[in-house]
Amino acid sequence: MIKVALAGFGKGGQIYNAPIISSVDGLEIVKILTSGNKEEAKKEFPAAEVVEDYSKITEDKRINLVVITTPNHLHVQFAEQALEAGKNVVVEKPFTPTVKEADYLISLAKRKNKIITVHHNRRWDSDFLTIQKIIKEDRLGKIVAYEAHFDRFRNYVKDNWKEEKAVPGSGILYDLGSHLIDQALVLFGHPKEIFADLRAQREHSEVVDNFELILFYPDLKVSLRAGMLVKEPGARFSVFGRNGTFKKYGMDVQEEALQQGKNPKEDPDWGKEPEEIWGKINTTNEEGRVKSELGNYTHLYQNIYNAILGKEDLLVKPEEARDVIKVIELAQKSNAERRMVPFS
């Protein structure tokens, strides 16, 4: 049994991490750091100790794994303290605000002989798993273009750290962009060049709330987009190959299930998408719906558990999460200089 501490019990900790951790046999949440959600933490995890002092976690010799879901600008500080205390670490995405900080944490983890990884859970979205399968089976032929959108509609600015320009790691390029970039790098590896257009479109917005990011590869263009003023979303994914096209509308169902208080251990239909949002394929060889693969966020924490025990290699390597931050930094550079920039 691996004892786990949650550092943060806001939306990231309470909704997106805790239920998944609890669904993996061998992982037990024994401490939760929170000041504002004490009652919710105690209600959901009555056997866990709720604390306000992070040292109560770092100094607890029972705890083997610390999951950090604090605001982005605190990721480095909290991860550093956990590693120095000899803990394995999971950091909520985005990994860090800068590549330099990511490299520092990776180096520290190696010196301490501990695991550090990042919660890139959307590698296990049903739609993304389906796209991976279609590409692997070569059903579209050589891929020439890939478009991914992560759109929302909220035409006002919230009073929280994600909307504050002065807070490192704020804005949707770090938030939603981290998911889109990580998925693209998993599929296609490092691009040769990057171009980005970053905007603040909502009234009174201080941070990036709309972006278009283009990754250029030999014979392939990857377009990643997200915005906060998209009332009528288009296709979530569009994949174009020399033999045809795959398009997917609608979102993976796991996020909504988590928001409703469900968890994988108790839901026999976990990660199963309804047929009406299955993707459509149209090629020289076939046309019709493609049954979505089962989404499975549990696989991330199962792998982390096995990696800590030395049974598997990490699936989300920290260097991969660092490269997501590198793309974000290059996107900022491209936007500032209004030009295409090389990845290397």
| Residues whose CB falls within 8 Å of the CB of residue 102, separated by 6 or more in sequence, listed in order | 95, 96, 318, 321, 322, 325
pLDDT of amino acid 220:
98
- Please give the chain's pLDDT, 344 residues, in tens: 999 999 999 999 999 999 999 999 999 999 999 998 999 999 999 999 999 999 999 999 999 999 999 999 999 999 999 999 999 999 999 999 999 999 999 999 999 999 999 999 999 999 999 999 999 999 999 999 999 999 999 999 998 888 888 889 999 999 999 999 999 999 999 999 999 999 999 999 999 999 999 999 999 999 999 999 999 999 999 999 999 999 999 999 999 999 999 999 999 999 999 999 999 999 999 999 999 999 999 999 999 999 999 999 999 999 999 999 999 999 999 999 999 999 98
Check: CB of residue 3 under 8 Å from CB of residue 30: yes
Rounded Cα–Cα distance for residues 303 and 314 (Å): 7
* Cα separation, 80 vs 95, whole angstroms: 12
Among 90, 111, 71, smallest CA distance to 27 is for 90
> Which residues touch 33 (CB under 8 Å, ≥6 apart)?
5, 6, 7, 8, 9, 51, 52, 53, 54, 56, 57
What six digits make up the tokens of 272? 């199963």
CA distance 79 to 75: 6
The Cα–Cα gap between 111 and 30 comes to: 26
DSSP string covering 241-283, please?
ETTEEEEE-S--SHHHHHHTT--TTT-TTTTPPPGGG-EEEEE
Gap between the Cα atoms of 161 and 130, Å rounded? 34
Determine the pLDDT at residue 160. Answer: 87
| DSSP 3-state of 92 | strand
CA distances from 166 to 71, 97, 197, 206 (A): 13, 12, 20, 9
Rounded to an integer, what distance in angstroms lies between the CA atom of residue 139 and that of residue 97?
38
| pLDDT one-digit tens code per residue, 110-154 | 999 999 999 999 999 999 999 999 999 999 999 999 999 999 999
Q: Where are the alpha helices (DSSP H) in 85-233?
A: 99-112, 126-136, 172-188
Give the per-residue pLDDT at 161.
86
Cα 197 from chain centroid?
A: 21
* pLDDT on residue 183: 98
Instruction: From 101, 92, 139, 151, select the one nearest 245 (Cα to Cα).
Output: 139
* pTM given for the model: 0.96
Taking only the tens place, the pLDDT of each residue in 216-243 is 999 999 999 999 999 999 999 999 999 9
| Angle, helices 126-136/172-188, rounded to nearest 10 degrees | 30
Q: Is 154 exposed, middle or buried (0-12, 13-18, 19+ CB in 10 A)?
A: exposed
Identify which of 118, 63, 64, 113 has the alpha carbon closest to the alpha carbon of residue 96. Answer: 118
Contacts of 180 (CB under 8 A, 6+ apart): 148, 150, 213, 224, 225, 226
Q: Looking at the chain, how many residues does it have?
A: 344
Give the up-direction half-sphere exposure of residue 315: CA atoms within 13 A in the CB hemisphere.
19
